[in-house]
Chains A and B, each alone.
Chain A
Amino acid sequence: MTDFKRVIAHLVVALLVFSGTSMAEEPRELSWDDLIPEAKTIEGPGGDNPVVGKNWNGSFEDAFSTPVLPVGVVEELDGVLAKIPGFVVPLELAEGGKVKEFLLVPYFGACIHYPPPPPNQLVHVTMDEPTEIQSQWDPIWAIGKLKTEMKRSDLGSAGYAMVAQSLEIYEY
């Protein structure tokens, strides 16, 4: 009986170790829905991130009002080695026009028919090595350690950051 238990224990340990190492090597594939915490939306003024300017009613202040947004981040994703698909909106360029810092977004950034992505639907990516990105219209996979960012204890501006080790071409 004790032998049996020991075997089981060994198996469990082996399984844990195995899954542990495989997680360290294999990045976890995340979808954009995985980045939204459940049932967390706020109404009214969106703090530092008001959206939508069509509601103009003649006053400067109201021009920057906001609709309902899913806000906040999934804290469990902090530190996870993730693989997320998306489009690149370049922020900082390095020598030879390579991209050093960009925003990863779920849909192409310049779509003017749709509200801009809320903070938890974009990832601020810093590249380990500046990388050449051919086109803004071609999606990529960004692979790296995810970090949740909660700035100034403001739920509305919480978002994700990532230090990317590599980028891969996204194949449809």
Chain B
Amino acid sequence: MLHNFVSTISLVFKSLMNRRGTAALTVASIAVSAALLSVVDRVRTDAQTSFANTISGTDLIVGARSGDLNLLLYSVFRIGNPTNNFSWESYRLIKDLPMVDWMIPISLGDAHRGYRVLGTDLGYFQHYQYADNRSLSFSDGAAFASATDAVIGAEVADELAYTVGQQIVVSHGVTETSFLTHDENPFTVTGILARTGTPVDRTVHISLAGMDLIHSDGTETPGLDDEPGEITAGLIGLKSKTSIFPLQRNINEYEPEALSAVIPGVALQQLWGLISVAETALYGVSAMVVLAGVLGLLATLLVSLNERRREMSVLRSVGARPGHIFVMLVSEAAMLALSGALIGLFLVQLGILLIRQYALSEFGIQLSIGLRAFDLYVLAGILVITVFVSVVPAWRAYRNSLADGLTVRL
């Protein structure tokens, strides 16, 4: 039985090698379709993981009145631009409420060579958390001690080759090039943060006083604890989760100023909901591509049957029964599909290895390497569908070999 199986497989393999051109193309089309489906799933889950990992332990985000998503995107992911600032008085009022454990001020709007500059206070390094309640840590240096100090993220340090002590200049606006630079007020890098895999890596942090300094005429240097007039957003940690709703409501209805408070998890889920339409479309298209690949395989097999009548006759003459011919064709299809899917999944791993760094620095998405359950489903799915549809050519070959016997009338 086993011997029989092995000899069938080796026969199939030899037959395929004889037609290696078309076989390779068929394998390639299956490989591409498997790779596409695997990539779509991987990018989806990895993107969601990256987004979910960026913020942790923050109960509410406060900003000027805007939409939930907007506020989340610009305050935490540095995507898009803030609509407006809000006053320092409101910030102090909320920060000093009895249910508030901590509040981090955030001031945005400027850049250093394409990297966003974020004004904050020392509480940021203490309370900001990412990925499962992990806190920020310094790989070199320490937090700012004066208004002209800066703390940079790991990627800023790597890309621009900055070390502690480097003098940097902040420019107005958020693009790489700006024609308004505040070069009369250079900042000194005092600390470099350890890599987090979040937008923090691509951020230059300065104090709120420093933020004010680059927007003043620069005649006098303020102290580190000088209070700014306004900030862009605030991240709040509460003593008890039960205060989330009442505080959110109060902030949203706060009359002296139009403010919005969002729960980060809720806004993230809104984001999933928004992109799930596109995701479903992508999955659908990829599934169709897989189907097209398998149909291509079916067509190739069917076309090849006629020119292989002589091959079948030879096999019959050495003792193969029509049943053997049937099994041979099904295993041929399975072999093509299996090698195609395996090559496709391997290509995905290779591709991720190649674009990993780019995806991280350009989109902030950390792509993971390694097989997943979904990849195995893809593999099994393609195999099952192929075996299923290969019954058609196998049946044809079976009938042919019954009719032809040992002599082929071509």
Asked if A159 is an interface residue, CB under 8 A from chain B, the answer is yes
Contact of A90 among B97, B246, B248, B269 (CB under 8 A): B269
Interface size of B by CB at 8 A reads 39
Whether the pair B93, A96 counts as a contact (CB closer than 8 A) is no
Interface residues in B323-378 by Cβ distance below 8 A to A read none
B393 to chain A, nearest CB (A): 40
Asked if A136 is an interface residue, CB under 8 A from chain B, the answer is yes
Contact of B266 among A46, A48, A56, A136 (CB under 8 A): A136
Contact of B250 among A47, A50, A96 (CB under 8 A): A50
Q: Are A99 and B241 also in contact (CB < 8 A) when A49-B99, A49-B246 are? A: no
Stretch from A4-12, A23-31, A76-84, A114-122 at the B interface: A114-122
Cβ contacts under 8 Å, A60 to chain B: 93, 256
Q: Chain A interface: which size bin?
A: 35 or more
B405 to chain A, nearest CB (A): 58
Stretch from B31-39, B45-53, B137-145 at the A interface: B45-53
Whether the pair B56, A92 counts as a contact (CB closer than 8 A) is yes
Whether the pair A50, B246 counts as a contact (CB closer than 8 A) is yes
A18 to chain B, nearest CB (A): 38
Cβ contacts under 8 Å, A68 to chain B: none
Q: Scoring A residues 91 to 132 as 1 if CB is less than 8 Å from chain B, else 0, what string do you get?
A: 111111101011101000110100111010010100000000
Whether the pair B265, A92 counts as a contact (CB closer than 8 A) is yes
Contact of A63 among B246, B250, B268, B272 (CB under 8 A): B250
Cβ contacts under 8 Å, A97 to chain B: 45, 48-49, 51-52, 268-269, 272
Cβ contacts under 8 Å, A89 to chain B: 244, 263, 265-266
Whether the pair A116, B240 counts as a contact (CB closer than 8 A) is no
A48 to chain B, nearest CB (A): 4
Cβ contacts under 8 Å, A103 to chain B: 241, 244-245
Whether the pair A48, B99 counts as a contact (CB closer than 8 A) is yes
Interface residues of B (CB under 8 A from A): 45, 48-49, 51-53, 56-57, 59, 93, 97-99, 132, 239-246, 248-256, 263-266, 268-269, 272-273
